[in-house]
Chain A
Amino acid sequence: MKTYKQLFSELSKLKRPALISFFVIGDPDFDTSVQIVKTAIDAGADILELGIPFSDPIADGPTIQKADIRARNSGMSVQKAMEFTRTVRDYKDIPIGLLMYYNLIYQYGTQKFFSDFHEAGVNSILVADLSIDDADEITSPATGAGLDTVFMVTPNTDTKRMKLIASRTTGFIYTVSLLGVTGSREKLSDTVEALVGKLKKLTSVPVCVGFGISKPEHAAAVASAGADGVIIGSKIVGFIENNLGNKEKMLADISTFLGEVKNAISPR
């Protein structure tokens, strides 16, 4: 099973950041979702960030909220999500991170959740509603299960917290580009390049950037600021929402866009 460490070391030789694509598992239904994720892999995704849908996703904007509803309406569950990650991992050996809300983990039993999903091919679990202050609740179960840890840094995180977060992170730092929830944006936040620069000086842990990365030029700007990965979420989930009646176009749009982003972040 490929680790983040192996991947980021391969990519540093290629001098380009990782292309990370986010989807909600089971959006709009299990089978289509598998096809979508395979399409993203074929289009060049280096890492998959996958969400298990939750009833109350407070860190997500309208696009991901609607994806959660579609997935839940088509019967997505924690058990099926495990089957999903296994299927995807069998298709291609690339790292998979989960990005989800704490209650689903807590109800399952944190240790068992981490172990079972590691076995199903997951490399890390980022808990959207658990900050570094409560890291103890998940770091030792994660390490025990063989998972890497991923935590978020936001534009209002101070230097002291950044250092603490870096010290507890073994996978990559999920850098949130702006103050706000997930969602496509016209413009890239004007503070993100400085934020990446600051983090790169503070730590050797890979720094990946997400939230609001909606255009190839956004990704290019983040890449030239020194980011180790670019996370695309709402923009490509939007292609699902916009093409629910036309699966071919849905897959083609996702593939084309990810190809453009990959091109934009690859060295000239």
Chain B
Amino acid sequence: MKYKGRFGDYGGFYVPEVLMPVLEELEEGFYRFYEDKQFVAELAQLSKDYAGRPSPLYHAKRFSEYVGFKVYLKREDLLHGGAHKVNNTLGQGLLAKYMGKTKLIAETGAGQHGLATAMIGALFGMETKIFMGVVDIERQSVNVHKMKLCGAEVIPIEGGTGTLKDAINDALRYWTAHVTDTFYLFGSACGPHPYPTIVKHFQTCIGTETRRQCLAEIGKLPDMVVACVGGGSNAIGIFSGFMDDKDVKLLGVEAGGRSLNSGRHAATLVVGRVGILHGAKSYLLQDKEGQVHETESVSAGLDYPAVGPEHCLLKDTGRAEYVAAEDDEVLDAFELLSKTEGILPALESAHALAYLMSQKGKFDPDTIAVVNLSGRGDKDVSIVERRRPLMSS
């Protein structure tokens, strides 16, 4: 390996020997192509014409009115596929193509990364397999159907809790046996090196655009940037644009699940302890001996016991702050944005909005908060319907 892939002491590549040669090949491929003129041009073209970049920055005035300060939404929900995930799958899919790989595999929780990978598999004509926990398949059935329509095979994972963690376990196992022709298109800025670096690279467009849009449209930088954190890809993407702007507060919102006290949550950075899972050292939800905990969240995309290594470092250095929003607050936020703006947010992104709701009236009215609206909520309507049935009128 050319680089150590460390963020402070976090990250690294804690994987079985059989995966080391492929991770080395991936690292080599990434550094060979990521600044390659043709690669960059092709990716830029696809980002524009296929994915729909740049995404708008929208001043959510009625939502702002409710919380008592200015809230802007970075509309990643408007991208093709309905989430920021396409930024990464286009980038890695193109990398796979440049590296001569013909098959894609990916894990998925909410199905957004699975769908974004299936789309790219169709776009590049690559055979695609998506690993997805049985619980997630059940709660995100619309996305499952979309993946299949795009020609991907969805492989149900029954192990463990049938969620994202188990899907990653099995995707890694599959990869172990198919390293020669298969590219593992990892969905978040976590896992073994070089994934945290690669995924961040392909998601930095969010931060770069947002910063430029703030200066052009608002005339100044925001006071805070807020994003939900599961593995942490949309958050690291938007944070990256403001890392050197020390006056811009960076805030990550994790899944508080039922509640932090109940232990049924996925608030890794807020209450976890450092450990090693899925190839990286990071904060981790685990018991005293190091067995990994089962997590719970209303949003499948945040239902994960580890977190991206760079977020761990940002927490330790204090450059970013991490809080948790509980399921009920998240559902409130989902409803509020829908009612005030006519925008259904993904339940993942609704965590960031829930934090702002909890800060209602606590900031000066001129305060500017930018929220990464990382995905749209169409996929979550049936969950919300179940949890919050509408009164018949």
Contact = CB atoms under 8 A, between A and B. Distances in A.
Contacts of B22: 156
A129 interface: yes
Given A58-B278, A103-B286, A108-B289, A65 B14 contact: no
B286 A179 contact: no
Interface string A54-87: 1111111100010000001000011000000000
B276 A129 contact: yes
Nearest to A53: B291
A152 B16 CA distance: 8
Interface string A148-185: 00011111111001000100000000001011110000
A113 B294 CA distance: 25
Interface string B1-15: 100000000001111
Contacts of B288: 107
A131 B290 contact: no
Interface in B1-51: 1, 12-18, 20-22
Contact of A129 (B16, B159, B180): B16
Interface centre among A57, A103, A176, A178, by most chain B C-beta atoms within 10 angstroms, is A103
A130 interface: yes
Contact of A106 (B159, B178, B290): B290
B126 interface: no
A228 B177 CA distance: 25
A129 B21 CA distance: 14
A221 to B, nearest CB: 21
Interface stretch (B138-146, B165-173, B211-219, B310-318): B165-173
B275 A107 contact: yes
Given A103-B284, A107-B286, A131 B291 contact: no
B176 interface: yes
B160 interface: yes
A186 interface: no
Contacts of B172: 58
A102 interface: yes
Interface in B149-174: 159-160, 165, 169, 172-173
Given A56-B165, A58-B172, A107-B290, A128 B20 contact: no
Contacts of A59: 16, 18, 173, 176
A134 interface: yes
A156 B289 contact: no
B291 to A, nearest CB: 4
A128 B277 CA distance: 12
Given A56-B292, A58-B173, A133-B1, A154 B18 contact: yes
Contact of A55 (B16, B17, B20, B292): B292
